[in-house]
């Protein structure tokens, strides 16, 4: 759509929604949305750089996805189709609450189908299905600073980013290997974005990290409590920190499959039965699992 048509796109509908809910379209006022969109533009222009912004008060508590929610609300249009997941699951309380809220204040349709969605807000997972250049993935971020583990001071981490002084992060990994024989970071695995900034990919499992590399999709990261927005634009290099003799590796599910849909190529959650103690595995991405079962039953 040409840019000049963009503001006119919601005429009529917007007014109607405002009338219905008592809030502006998308809950936030236009000034707030403008600020967040500007922060997003800057974040896309400098891949991996954390852009500070004025995180707004949301009707859910900080730390429960307000950063992702604000990005979603700043971007969403009435014809968007929204999917919200929490650790891969469409049905968890937090995901359902956010989904209902956005549907109410923006009047959008919701879905659990990854392929059908235009905006997907997620906590701690990237969907299994391939995402296209027509989609945006919004990730909720608890701790945007990848260097926080090695340096508690914000002033100091900003200096480290500015000077690309990352030897202490590398030292942390070195010590890990010396003590344990491998890197023990299981989620929030630090990555180098576009050859420059070390970035926190949010607490996604290692499994999802390769999906960020040279993807077709725009990834936006919002940390509401920490008041930071950053981005990994499409077709950007994302390289996990690794050593020549200790390469990065993902979780290994060899010989295991989903007990519900039989998938062998998805990220699996381990579930232990409370009464009988039986160990079984299920797809963490519930939308993907449902889709596979549907296809099988047809």
Partner 1 sequence: MQPLIRIRGLTKRFGSGCDRCLAATGPEHDTNLCPHCGSVLACNDLSFDLFPGEALGVVGESGSGKSTLVRLLHFEWEASAGSMDVHRSAAGSHLLAEMFPENGDYSRNLLLLSHFQRRQMRNALMGIVYQNPHLGLRMGVSSGGNIAERLLGAGWRNIAKMRQRAAELLEKTEIPIQRMDEPPANFSGGMQQRVQIAKALSNNPMILFLDEVTTGLDLSVQARVLDLIRNLRSEFNLSMLVVSHDLGVINLLCQRTMVMKAGHIVEDGLTDQILQDPQHRYTQLLVASQL
Q: How far is the CB of 192 from partner 1 (least distance, A)?
A: 12
195 binds partner 1 (CB under 8 A): no
| Interaction residues for partner 1, span 244-283 (CB under 8 A) | 244-246
Candidates 141-149, 175-183, 194-202, 210-218: pick the segment binding partner 1 (CB under 8 A): 175-183
In the complex, the smallest distance separating the C-beta of residue 170 from partner 1, rounded to whole angstroms, is 4
- The Cα 227–Cα 207 span in angstroms is 27
Query: Looking at 82-90, 103-111, 114-122, 238-246, which segment touches partner 1 (CB under 8 A)?
Result: 238-246
Among 35, 97, 151, 170, binds partner 1 (CB under 8 A): 170
**How far is C-alpha 225 from the geometric centre of its chain's CA atoms?**
15
Residue 232 in contact with residue 211, Cβ under 8 Å?
no
Q: Which is nearer to partner 1, 23 or 170 (CB)?
A: 170
> By C-alpha distance, which of 149, 138, 125, 141 is closest to 227?
141
Both ends of the chain: CA-CA distance in Å? 38
Q: Does the footprint of partner 1 cover residue 171 (CB under 8 A)?
A: yes
Angle between helices 66-75 and 93-106 (to 10 degrees): 30
Nearer CB in complex with partner 1: 22/247? 247
Q: If we measure between CA atoms, which residue out of 233, 211, 210, 235 comes closest to residue 220?
A: 233
- If the CB atoms of residues 173 and 229 are measured against partner 1, the closer one turns out to be 173
Place of tokens 């969109």: 37
Nearer to partner 1, 120 or 146 (CB): 146
Tell me whether residue 289 is one of the annotated catalytic residues.
yes
Pairing mode, if any, of strands 136-140 and 81-86? unpaired
CA distances from 294 to 87, 112, 127, 298 (A): 21, 13, 18, 6
Among 16, 79, 154, 175, which residue interacts with partner 1 (rule: CB under 8 A)?
Answer: 175
- Alpha helix (H) residue ranges in the chain: 13-21, 30-45, 66-75, 93-106, 154-162, 167-180, 286-297
Least distance from partner 1 to the Cβ atom of residue 165, Å: 6
296 is catalytic: no
According to CB under 8 A, which one of 93, 162, 272, 296 is a site residue for partner 1?
162
List interacting residues with partner 1 (CB under 8 A).
159, 162-165, 167-168, 170-171, 174-175, 177-179, 242-246
Would you please indicate which residues are annotated as catalytic (active-site) residues? 48, 258, 261, 283, 289
């Amino acid at each position: 759509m040409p840019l000049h048509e963009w503001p006119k796109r919601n005429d009529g509908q917007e007014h109607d929604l405002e009338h219905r809910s008592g809030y502006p379209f998308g809950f936030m006022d236009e000034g707030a949305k403008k600020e967040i969109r500007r922060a997003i533009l800057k974040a896309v222009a400098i891949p991996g750089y954390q852009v500070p912004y004025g995180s707004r008060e949301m009707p859910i508590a900080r730390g429960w996805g307000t950063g992702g929610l604000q990005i979603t609300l700043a971007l969403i249009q009435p014809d968007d189709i929204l999917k919200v997941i929490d650790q891969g699951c469409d049905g968890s309380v937090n995901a359902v609450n956010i989904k209902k809220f956005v549907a109410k204040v923006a009047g959008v349709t919701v879905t659990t189908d990854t392929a059908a969605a235009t905006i997907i807000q997620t906590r701690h997972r990237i969907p299994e299905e391939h995402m296209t250049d027509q989609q945006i993935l919004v990730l909720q971020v608890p701790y945007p600073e990848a260097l926080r583990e090695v340096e508690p001071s914000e002033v100091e981490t900003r200096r480290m980013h500015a000077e690309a002084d990352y030897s202490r992060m590398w030292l942390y990994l070195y010590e890990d290997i010396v003590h344990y024989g491998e890197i023990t970071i299981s989620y929030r695995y630090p990555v180098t974005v576009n050859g420059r900034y070390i970035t926190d990919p949010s607490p996604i499992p290692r499994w999802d990290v390769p999906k960020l590399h040279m993807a077709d999709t725009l990834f936006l990261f919002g940390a509401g409590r920490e008041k930071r927005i950053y981005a990994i634009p499409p077709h950007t290099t994302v390289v996990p920190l690794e050593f020549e003799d200790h390469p990065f590796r993902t979780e290994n599910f060899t010989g295991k499959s989903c007990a519900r849909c039989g998938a062998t190529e998805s990220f699996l959650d381990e579930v232990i039965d409370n009464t009988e103690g039986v160990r079984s595995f299920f797809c963490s991405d519930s939308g993907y699992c449902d889709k596979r079962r549907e296809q099988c039953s047809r």
